[in-house]
Amino acid sequence: MNDGPRPPDPSDVTQPIPIVTPAPPSRPAAGPGPGLGPGRGYGRVRQVAGRYEHRFGNVPAYLLARLAAFALDVPGVAFVIATFGFDGFDRGVLLLAGRDRAGFDTLALVALGAALLFSFLCEAIFGTTLGKLVFGLHTRRFDGKHAGVGRTFVRHLLRPLDVLLIGPFLALVTPRHQRAGDLAAGTVVGMSPLGYFAPLIGLALCAALGYAQITFGGGLTSAIGVAAEIGNYGPEAYAQFASLFGAGASAAAGAAGGAAKTLGVPEARATPQPAAAPTNVPTADATAEATDEPSAEATDGAAAGGDGEASPLPSAPADDGTPEPG
C-alpha cells in the first residue's frame, strides 16, 4: 500500500540539491554628494524620508558666501554696466548721461536697474546667479524643485527690506537661513547641486564678462572714470537718499537725547558769543581830541570880534623917552 512520498534518505545521493537564490545587495542611502567647502555638510540636496534636505555646511562660511554673492550680483555687475555707459558717452554713441550730478544719478539708476533685472532673470531661469555660481549656491523650493518665476519675483521684490533692515538677522536665526523674501516665497538658498563645477562655471563667466568690458567697455580707463564719479557724487547722492528717512533720524535723535538725560549725561550747550560793538559810537580818544580843539564856528567868531570892536582891556602906553611934566 502506498502511504505517500517517502522522506528523503540522507544516504541517497540521487536526490535533487535545492538551489538558493541570494538576495540582492541593499543600496546605500543617498549621501550628501561631492559638495564644496569645509565639512561633509557642503553637499547637494538629498531626499530623506520623502522630503528634501537642504545642506548649508559651516554656517559662518555659508552666510559670508551669500553676502559676497549679493555684492557680486548687484554692485559688481552694476559697476561693469556703468563702465559701458561711461565709455559710450565718451565715444558719442550714447547720450544717456553727462558728467554732472544729474548724469551720475541717471547712469547709476540705469546700471543698478539692469543689474537687478539680470539677477532676477538668471535666478528665475537657472535657479542661480553669477555670484551664487562663483560661491556654489543655488535657490530652490522647500521640496527641492525649481523655484520658478513667481517665487523668484517675490523674493526679489522684498530684497530692499532685507538689505535695509532684517535680512541678515533672519538668515542667521531661522532654521533654513531664510531672509524675509525667502520666507514669503517659500524658497531656500542652499549649496549648488553642481558641486565643484559651480565655481568653475562662475569664474569662467566672470572672465568672459571682464573680456567684454576690456574690449567694448573702455577697459581700465572707463573703470577709473566711473570710480572717480562715484567718489565725486556718491557721498552727495547717499546723503540725499538718507534724507528721505529724516523723520526716522529725528525720532532716533530724540530717543538718544532722552537716553542721555536718563543716564545723566550733561547736555552740550552753545557758548554765548560777545556782541560786536557798533561802528558809529565815538571812542574815548576821539572825544578827547574833539574837546581840546576849538570848533570852526568859535574860531571865526573870535576873528570877527577883533575886527569890529575894541578890546575891553587898555593897552600899555608906549615908552618913547619924553619926560613927563612935573
147: closest CA among 134, 129, 131? 129
Inform me whether the pLDDT recorded for 86 exceeds 70.
Answer: yes
53: closest CA among 173, 165, 188? 188
Inform me whether the pLDDT recorded for 59 exceeds 80.
Answer: yes
> Counting Cβ atoms within 10 Å, is residue 148 exposed (0-12), middle (13-18) or buried (19+)?
middle
pTM of the complete model: 0.61
pLDDT at position 134: 96
Q: Which amino acid is at 112?
A: L
> Rounded mean pLDDT of 90-104?
77
> Rounded mean pLDDT of 309-325?
49
More confident residue, 168 or 265: 168
Inform me whether the pLDDT recorded for 212 exceeds 90.
Answer: yes
> Rounded mean pLDDT of 162-182?
87
Q: What is the mean pLDDT of the chain?
A: 74
Q: pLDDT tens digits, residue range 234-292?
A: 888 888 877 776 544 444 444 444 434 444 444 444 445 555 555 555 555 544 454 45
Inform me whether the pLDDT recorded for 215 exceeds 90.
Answer: yes
How far apart (Å, rounded) are the C-alpha atoms in residues 121 and 241?
27
Q: Which helix (H) or strand (E) holds 52?
A: strand 51-53
Residue 320 in grid coordinates: 618913547
Inform me whether the pLDDT recorded for 137 exceeds 90.
Answer: yes
> Rounded mean pLDDT of 54-75?
92
pLDDT at position 306: 45
Inform me whether the pLDDT recorded for 74 exceeds 70.
Answer: yes
Give the residue extent of every domain in the chain.
Answer: 61-243
pLDDT at position 89: 85
